[in-house]
Amino acid sequence: MCQTSYVVVKNHIELVAFDTVGVAAVNLMIEVEPGGDNESWLLIALLSLSTMPPVNEVIDWLKTIQKWAKLAEKPMLLAIHLSPLMLTQPQERIEFLRTLSNFADSVILIASLEGEAPAQTLARLPQFLVDMVFRPGMINLDCDDFRKRMQPKVAFFGCGIQRLLDERSIDDMSVPMAEIRQ
């Protein structure tokens, strides 16, 4: 599955793709600050799995990227998209992600949106981080804020899910608290 790692620096983030889906995700990212000094401050390993590759192959790849990140003194984030058909039991998914968390500073599972290709799913997290750091807005982070708050855990990323709810009225979504507690 993994012939070679594809490495690109975009928007001051070093993106490393495991396979062709990761390469497509890198190509989907929008350049916020084209040109100039593009020294990276973060390394993101992009991994999309629709079938179970040999786990050792994934772990060997992650070990290589982890060494690379440590030598460069950069935090390493593993962004992962798992097909809904793979590891269908929640406990299996959690154990798999915990295993992978031994080889990255943080692991983030990215939720798929309906009708979205795996590469689009995988590209959403790095694009979100770039937008939060480089585009002016209500919430802005800088690279140091991000580094300080990165935790060695497994997290879930679901940015973009709100658009699925936008068509429903707020009245339809409101549920009395007593019903939630039951």
Q: Where are the domains of the chain?
A: 6-181
Angle formed by the axes of helices 118-134 and 20-28, to 10°? Answer: 40
> In CATH, which of 3.30.1360, 3.10.310, 2.60.120, 3.40.50 is domain 6-181?
3.40.50
Is residue 172 pLDDT above 80, yes or no?
no
Cβ(2)–Cβ(53) below 8 Å: yes
What is the model's pLDDT at position 143? 59
Judged by average pLDDT, the poorest of 2-6, 28-32, 128-132 is 2-6
Residue 2, pLDDT score: 46
Going 38 to 79 to 101 to 55, the CA torsion angle's sign is negative
Q: Which backbone phi and psi does 150 adopt, to 5 degrees?
A: -65, 130
On average, the pLDDT of the chain sits at 75
Residue by residue, DSSP assigns the chain as -----EEEEETTEEEEESSHHHHHHHHHPPPSS-SS----SEEEEEEEESS---HHHHHHHHHHHHHHHHHHT--EEEEEEE-TTSS-SHHHHHHHHHHHHTTSSEEEEEPPPTT--HHHHHHHHHHHHHHHHHS-SSS---HHHHHHH--SSEEEE-TTTHHHHTTS-HHHH---HHHHH-
The confidence score (pLDDT) of residue 148 equals 62
pLDDT digits (tens, 9 = 90+) for 57-102: 888 999 999 999 999 888 898 999 988 778 888 888 888 888 899 9
Confidence of residue 149 (pLDDT cuts 50, 70, 90): low
| Per-residue pLDDT, 155 | 66
Q: How many CB atoms lie within 10 A of CB 86?
A: 13
Is 80 exceeded by the pLDDT of residue 7?
no
**What is the per-residue pLDDT across 107-126, written as a single tens digit (0 to 9) for each?**
888 888 888 899 998 988 88
What pLDDT does 88 receive? 81
- Given pLDDT bands bounded at 50, 70 and 90, which one contains residue 181? very low
Question: For 22-33, what is each residue's pLDDT tens digit?
Answer: 889 988 887 766
